[in-house]
Chains A and B, each alone.
Chain A
Amino acid sequence: MELKEKILSSYVAFENDININSDIHDIRTEALQNFEKLGFPTKKLEAWKYTSLNSVLKDDYSIFPNKENTIQFADVKKYFIHDIDTYKIVFIDGKYSSFLSDTTHDGKDICLMSSALKKSKYKAVIENYFNKIAKQDNLTSLNTAFANEGAYIYIPKSVEVEKPIQIINFTTGKEEATLVQPRNLIVVEENAHVQIIERHQSLTNNTALSNVVTEIFAARNATVDYYKVQNDNVNATLVDNTYIEQQTNSEVSVHTFSFGGNITRNNLNFYQKGERINSILKGITITEGKQHVDHHTLVHHIEPNCESHQDYKGIYDERSTGVFNGKVIVEKEAQKTNAYQQNNNVLVSDKATINAKPQLEIFADDVKCSHGCTIGQLDEEALFYMQQRGIPKKEGRALLMYAFANTVLESVKIPEVKSRITKLIANKLGVNIGFDL
């Protein structure tokens, strides 16, 4: 049975487990119909021109892992940022793991989507924000149709969350192939501040497909600092759909570190609904083997005096492919916009491919918009210089790559995350560099 049919027919089973007499369920049903109409994306769609999911859609996915799987903390400790105290929301095969998590309701809500959907005290927030900015496209609709579990974070006015929040989705790989669809909702009220680290990790080499939707709302003067660590196993595919709405004076930054996984597709969408907003999108991608990483960004400037900064660095080795599709739309009213987009790529091997498509759509005249896109190699002379001074070629190359990616790395605000990423890069490049950058 094809995956699409399987998913559609499993909807009835899904309905047995949840409360179907709610407004949310109408949204789900509508989304299911939308997915039924659209199906999975194909290369014929302009947005999926360079990324094909065919190879991962043919597997026989288990859609609802029936039993709750447990894992020992010691086995998965390495996937956490464990050297600092954090709130944790942990899911195992799509089910919440209270044992590994550390949530709170003390002055803020850092908890579960499933309970937020059930309890009436969250009703107002859910009604105001749930599925309000998520696009009605194919995979987001699929997620919406089965939306039930994920992280629910609500930070009230003027609250500064004292420690970062980690959202981790583990896939145990007990089944041949697992499909999970986490749904996260993050609402940050006026003057509030939050830092979030998100990670998806499969624990075996069995196939995993994650189709994630995250909606983030940043009210006036809010600050959101979001880190996506993507360093999954070779058979794990991730489609990450993130939608962010910002109000006046808010600042949201999203850092995406894509090192692992089979196919990784990041749809990152910013909608600026106020003035003097700052949006920051940064990423480092390092791939090898047959990996495929696709960054699709959209920044929609709607009001005047806003800024956006995009900086994506990519290093592609072996037969891997990279895609960067960055779109900036500046509406007629959005005068004095300052939109900046930078995408630099290095191809390390002859078989690697990069497809870049930086787009600007501008309807206002008093704006400063620029994009730069380069594809090139590491500086052979610099490498030679280092070799002359006793730095082996491999380390020399790694150093140059660090330097190349450093503009992104240096803007990471949590030191522990920064050093973790540095280690991941070292690991990925197979070097042991004994200093922090």
Chain B
Amino acid sequence: MSKYTEDNLREELKTKEYEYGFYTDIESDKFEKGLNEDVVRAISKKKNEPEWMTEWRLEAFRVWEKMEEPDWANVKYPKPNFQEIAYYSAPKQKPKLNSLDEVDPDLLATFEKLGISLEEQKRLANVAVDIVMDSVSVATTFKETLAEKGIIFMPISEAIQEHPELVRKHLGTVVPTTDNFYAALNSAVFSDGSFCYIPKGVRCPMELSTYFRINEGGTGQFERTLVVADKGSYVSYLEGCTAPQRDENQLHAAVVELIALDDAEIKYSTVQNWFPGDAEGKGGVFNFVTKRGLCETNAKISWTQVETGSAVTWKYPSCILKGNNSVGEFYSIAVTNHHQQADTGTKMIHLGKNTKSTIISKGISAGKSQNSYRGLVQINSRAENARNFSQCDSLLMGNECGAHTFPYIEAKNKTAQIEHEATTSKIGEDQLFYCNQRGIDTEKAIALIVNGFSKEVLNKLPMEFAVEAQKLLEISLEGSVG
């Protein structure tokens, strides 16, 4: 495989639909179903990976083989058969459409509501766009700006080739291969993902989200993300998209590792809107994600997530507050409707002195869905003056859904100050009546109240996404007024 340059990229974009990260010959890239050591080796070979990487994957695979699928989460789903999955396949070429008229009107209506621009709509709906050149130039400008600052931002498979020392040093340090069933699986077979390195003292000049919006095509089934913020640097990173994502892969097991060295700050935002299955609960994506960040001295990691999609979500973005004075934050909105199930929350592990963490979790359940918050706050014996504030609020719509909270609080230091609050409520009749009186119909009133309910979290999102996420909430809850 020759080195991939910007010229190739331009060429690529001119000639065909650009699938970020997947661009090798499509026909030959399909493995038989099933998973064994040979498959892992083959994946590694395909990626032209160095020996240490192959070994790393194999080690993960051997651990995974001995593990059992966890069943402690408060979700029910048919267990996937791991031998029935093809572990390496280049993404399917989606049928190319000639104009927006050919796109599913439902999808267009959703775009409209989200306020996505016409050009972007075309790109997202996989319509051949004639402004490709434009987009290339924008992308190139971004790439140049980033390169100037010394920021490395590329698919992780390329990073393994080009910056093996960095990847090797950090990969698996926060989420070890042995961490859990899905993390081990991911480590063995991950197809691709992103690698991001911010050098010392550099403040990333743009939201990496912006870059993503222009470049990202399909995401893989087993994604691996590694973000390293060197001393004193700052980066804001957004993953996912508000636009509905339909995907033929039912199982998604991603791993995200964040490393914030001394005085660095990482802000990681996620908007997840995978296909949740239809109103009867058929189909839909299983989303089993391991996300964890490590904070060194004075560092800060902030997770913000808006979860509206997936049939089953199993996700606990965590912070290990290793360094003194480090800060961890978790802001989350999880919306479930119809038959969706979400078991999500966070872990804050306080190891260093004067560490602080904040957890704000808003769960909204409607239809026949089940929404759980599961979190851990752990203050270790040497974490003097640790401080935690947790707030978990649930909003229930209708009496067929459920809201659950499972907070674990473990304190081993007397100077710890921990507060945990949780409330469960429904939208008040009088609140609705008040809105109705003032000429706001019930559907809008609910949107209004839900937005108020989730405001603390929405405010933490990068600007443009906050607006879209707000609308996304409305759409997700459409028709749940009962």
Contacts and interface: CB of A to CB of B under 8 A. Distances in A.
A388 to B, nearest CB: 23
A23 interface: no
Contact of B409 (A354, A365, A366): A354
Contact of A46 (B72, B381, B405): B72
B423 interface: yes
Nearest to A50: B410
B427 to A, nearest CB: 9
A363 B402 contact: yes
A360 B403 contact: yes
Interface stretch (A83-91, A254-262, A287-295, A367-375): A367-375
A348 B415 CA distance: 9
A362 B414 contact: no
Interface in B232-284: none
Contact of A360 (B381, B404, B408, B413): B404
A371 B409 contact: no
A356 B421 CA distance: 12
Contacts of A376: 416-419
Given A367-B424, A370-B422, A375 B411 contact: yes
A335 B415 CA distance: 40
Tell me the interface secondary structure of chain B in the complex.
strand
Contacts of B82: none
Interface in B387-426: 394, 396-426
A9 to B, nearest CB: 34
Among A332, A353, A360, A363, residue most surrounded by chain B Cβ atoms (within 10 Å): A360
Q: Chain A interface residue count: which class? A: 35 or more
Nearest to B372: A361
Nearest to A356: B409
B410 A366 contact: no
B424 A358 contact: no
Contacts of B422: 358, 360, 369-372
Contact of A375 (B72, B400, B407, B418): B418
Contacts, number: 117
A350 B416 CA distance: 10
Nearest to A366: B426
A361 B404 contact: yes
Contacts of A356: 407-411, 420
A349 B405 CA distance: 29
Contact of A359 (B400, B407, B421): B407
A357 B407 contact: yes
Interface size bracket, B side: 35 or more
Given A353-B411, A357-B407, A360-B404, A373 B399 contact: no
A361 B399 CA distance: 13
B399 to A, nearest CB: 5
Contact of A355 (B396, B402, B410): B410
A371 B381 CA distance: 26
Contact of B417 (A355, A365, A377): A377
A379 B394 CA distance: 32
Interface string A213-245: 000000000000000000000000000000000
A347 B72 CA distance: 30
A351 interface: yes
A362 B409 contact: no
Contacts of A354: 409-411
Given A350-B413, A350-B414, A366-B399, A358 B425 contact: no
A347 B413 contact: yes
Identify the interface centre among B381, B407, B411, B418: most chain A CB within 10 Å of its CB.
Answer: B411
A372 B418 CA distance: 10
Interface in A108-138: none
Interface in A317-346: 332, 335, 345
Nearest to A330: B424
Interface in B129-181: none
B415 A361 contact: no
A383 to B, nearest CB: 14
Contacts of B420: 356, 358, 371-374
A167 B381 CA distance: 40
Contact of B408 (A355, A364, A368, A372): A355
A368 B424 CA distance: 6
Contacts of B419: 372-374, 376
Contacts of B402: 361-363
A372 B72 CA distance: 24
Contact of B399 (A332, A353, A368): A332
Contact of A365 (B72, B398, B406, B412): B398
A362 B403 contact: yes
A212 B384 CA distance: 39
Given A357-B406, A362-B404, A364-B399, A370 B424 contact: yes
Contacts of B424: 360, 362, 367-370
Given A362-B402, A362-B403, A370 B411 contact: no
A425 interface: no
Contacts of B410: 353-356
Contacts of A332: 399-400
A377 B419 CA distance: 12
A90 to B, nearest CB: 40
A179 interface: no
A207 B403 CA distance: 44
B72 to A, nearest CB: 7
A357 B409 CA distance: 6
Contacts of B423: 369-370
Nearest to A46: B72
Nearest to B410: A355
Nearest to A363: B402
Nearest to A333: B399
Contacts of B411: 345, 347, 353-356, 375
Contact of A358 (B394, B397, B407): B407
Contact of A368 (B412, B416, B418, B425): B425
Given A46-B72, A369-B424, A348 B414 contact: yes
A298 interface: no
A352 interface: yes
B450 to A, nearest CB: 14
Nearest to B404: A361
A400 to B, nearest CB: 14
B415 A377 contact: yes
A369 B396 CA distance: 12
A375 B398 contact: no
Contact of B421 (A335, A357, A370): A370
B418 A373 contact: yes
Contacts of B414: 347-350, 352, 377
A364 B365 CA distance: 11
A172 B414 CA distance: 37
A44 B397 CA distance: 36
Nearest to B381: A350
Contacts of B405: 358-360, 371
A335 B403 contact: no
Which 6 A-B residue pairings sit nearest by Cβ, starting from the closest? Answer: A347-B414, A365-B396, A375-B418, A356-B409, A373-B420, A369-B424
14 contacts: A345-B411, A348-B414, A350-B413, A352-B414, A358-B407, A358-B422, A360-B403, A363-B399, A367-B424, A370-B422, A370-B424, A373-B420, A374-B418, A376-B418
Given A335-B399, A363-B401, A365-B397, 20 more contacts: A332-B399, A348-B414, A349-B414, A355-B410, A356-B407, A356-B410, A357-B407, A358-B407, A360-B403, A360-B404, A362-B394, A364-B396, A365-B398, A367-B396, A367-B424, A371-B422, A372-B419, A372-B420, A372-B421, A375-B416
